[in-house]
Amino acid sequence: MPRRSVYKRKVDSLLEYADIHIGGDQPSDLQIHNPDTYARIFGKGTIGFGEAYMDGWWDCEALDEFFTRVVRAKIANNIRTWHDKFFFLKAWLLNQQAGKRSFRVGKQHYDAGNDLYQRMLDQRMIYSCGYWRDVQTLDEAQQQKLDLICRKLDLGPGMRVLDIGCGWGGAAKFAAENYGVEVVGITISHQQLEFGNATCAGLPVDLRMQDYKTLNEPFDRIFSVGMFEHVGFKNYRNFFEIVDRCLNDDGLFLLHTIGANFSSVKSDPWFEKYIFPNSVTPSIKLIGGAIENLFVIEDWHNFRSDYDQTLLAWYKNINAKWHELPAYDERFQRMWNYYLMASAGSFRAGNNQVWQIVLSKRGMKYGYEAPR
């Protein structure tokens, strides 16, 4: 039997577990345009599958639902290659977020172009999960998320606040304008810094190009939103020790991060190559071990389904405005859509979570009542 037919039969068999069919009429079914797709999957694993989509070798009407079914069926576990095994071994042996390597994700992903993110994100340029309780729009969901963070931290006039991974400055600006605080924000993206300085002009906001590892100054409150995924499992303890060093004894720290159901040393190989280099999603176990004897957990809030809704809003926004982005070719657009819809499917399938964790150094003297 020709090898191409063997690979096709293997793919058909795997997809059956997820109720997905080649050439079927369900929105989640695959339409294969190039028969070499099957060999590419088994030759390069998830990288090959993603690259085949980028090259137009296959399509799917409902890509998000396709990934929901694939993730629930754990199909990726059955197409691991020797390249994948080496990829994870290297991550285990090396600290891939050390030194200059920690800036790679800023250059590759966050410096992809402010024009791209302005067309995808909300008006405040918040690149993390919104909070969709009783609201209808992305702008409302992101504003509500920012206000939730400020209330959880019990911000008040005169406080000095640190934003680790400040993005385009939207959270720092919101806190300064609405809660009367002074904010220091750090980023590893030149384009984020330039944009943030322009939008925060005239406010008590100091945005810097700085690696968190060099922080050593006091703050009343600290928060980090959507940045911890880039820290790396070898650096979790050091990250929290730096937060401990900078946080006043009666202060609070809020960590907003994507969470994984299992401990891993690396993200998916396709996401590593094309979207978030040197990144990994933390687990409860790894976070718990890293904060032991440093912090008291005051609150642990999960709102996973809100990220599915946020990603769908980003997908809708960016695809309505691709005609305004001539610098990005069709392959880049397919890559970006693959990233957004694969992520939405992962959250919908329960493979990823969204956590907001509030920590204190000694435990709040009179207890802590978590806002929702």
What is the secondary structure of 304-339 as a DSSP string?
Answer: THHHHHHHHHHHHHHHHSGGG-TTS-HHHHHHHHHH
Angle between helical axes of 305-320 and 63-72 (0-180°, round to 10) = 150
pTM of the prediction? 0.92
pLDDT, position 112: 76
CA dist., res. 59 & res. 56, Å (int): 7
Helix, strand, coil percentages, rounded to 5, for the chain: 50, 15, 35
* pLDDT for the residue 135: 97
Q: What is the C-alpha separation between 101 and 89, in angstroms, rounded?
A: 17
Q: 136, exposed or middle or buried, with CB in 10 Å at 0-12, 13-18, 19+? A: exposed
| Location of each CATH 3.40.50.150 domain in the chain | 99-360
Phi, psi values for residue 23, rounded to 5°: 75, 10
What single letter denotes the amino acid at residue 249?
D
Q: Alpha carbon of 250 to those of 242, 313, 362, 364: distances in Å?
A: 16, 38, 7, 8
Do 304 and 347 touch, CB atoms closer than 8 A?
yes
Position 86 scores a pLDDT of 52
Distance CA 361, CA 298 (A): 10
Tell the residue number behind the tokens 């809708």, with chain if given: 316
- Using 50 as the pLDDT threshold, list the residues of the chain that sit under it: 1
User: How many Cβ atoms are within 10 Å of 365's Cβ, its own excluded?
Assistant: 8
- Cα(225)–Cα(15) distance, rounded to whole angstroms? 36
Q: DSSP string spanning 30-54? A: BEES-TTHHHHHHHHHHHHHHHHHH
Structure tokens at 70: 């694939």
Helix (H) or strand (E) holding 185, with range, is strand 182-187
- 97: closest CA among 256, 224, 290, 238? 238
The DSSP secondary-structure symbol of 127 reads -
3-state secondary structure of 225: strand
pLDDT of res. 94: 57
> DSSP state, 161?
E
Task: Outline where DSSP puts E strands in 37-115.
Answer: 58-59
Region class of 19: left (phi > 0), else alpha (psi between -120 and 50), else beta: left
With beta carbons less than 8 A apart as the criterion, state whether 268 and 121 touch: no
Helix (H), strand (E) at residue 254: strand 247-260
How many whole angstroms separate alpha carbon 26 and alpha carbon 359?
46
pLDDT digits (tens, 9 = 90+) for 134-187: 999 999 999 999 999 999 999 999 999 999 999 999 999 999 999 999 999 999
pLDDT for 267: 78
Measured CA to CA, the distance from residue 109 to residue 339 in angstroms comes to: 12
pLDDT of residue 109: 79
- CATH of the domain spanning 99-360, picked from 3.40.50.720, 3.40.50.150, 3.10.20.600, 3.40.630.10: 3.40.50.150
Residue 123: CB atoms within 10 A of its CB come to 12
Yes or no: say if 263 and 285 are a contact pair by the CB < 8 Å rule: yes
Looking at residue 74, its pLDDT comes to 87
**pLDDT for res 370:** 92
Residue with tokens 């968190």: 212
Distance separating the N- and C-terminal Cα atoms of the chain: 60
Q: What is the pLDDT of residues 346-368, one digit of tens each?
A: 999 999 999 999 999 999 988 99
